[in-house]
């Protein structure tokens, strides 16, 4: 079993599947399926969220500097908001030069 799956299972056991799901930003059914080795989706996406949220993995953001991998993934999903210079910079960086 990969280390990140073990970490997810430990966290879900110590708290709950719902708490683990909220922490990684995915559904409880994803957490359950991954822990039981029955998940049919993209494991790399779950792994990235677990490594960021539970294992403190960070990435070097071209705009914000060092941030958690899970936070990086959250920022990548956000829409463009022209009222914030930081959001604008993040929007453009996430869609062009960012390797994460």
Q: Give the containing element (helix H, strand E) for 60.
A: strand 58-61
pLDDT band at 37 (very low <50, low <70, confident <90, very high): very high
Cα gap 5→84, rounded to integer Å: 37
Over the stretch 45-91, which tens digit does the pLDDT of each residue have? 999 999 999 999 999 999 999 999 999 988 888 888 888 898 899 88
Residues 6+ apart with CB under 8 A from 20: 8, 11, 12, 28, 31
Over the stretch 13-26, which tens digit does the pLDDT of each residue have? 999 999 999 999 99
């Amino acid at each position: 079993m990969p280390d990140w799956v073990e970490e997810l299972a430990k966290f879900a056991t110590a708290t709950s599947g719902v708490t683990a799901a909220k922490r990684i930003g995915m559904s409880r059914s994803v957490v359950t399926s991954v822990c039981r080795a029955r998940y049919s989706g993209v494991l790399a996406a779950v792994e990235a969220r677990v490594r960021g949220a539970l294992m403190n993995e960070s990435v070097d953001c071209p705009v914000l500097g060092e941030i958690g991998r899970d936070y990086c993934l959250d920022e990548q999903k956000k829409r463009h908001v022209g009222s914030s210079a930081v959001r604008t910079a993040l929007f453009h960086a996430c869609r062009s030069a960012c390797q994460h």
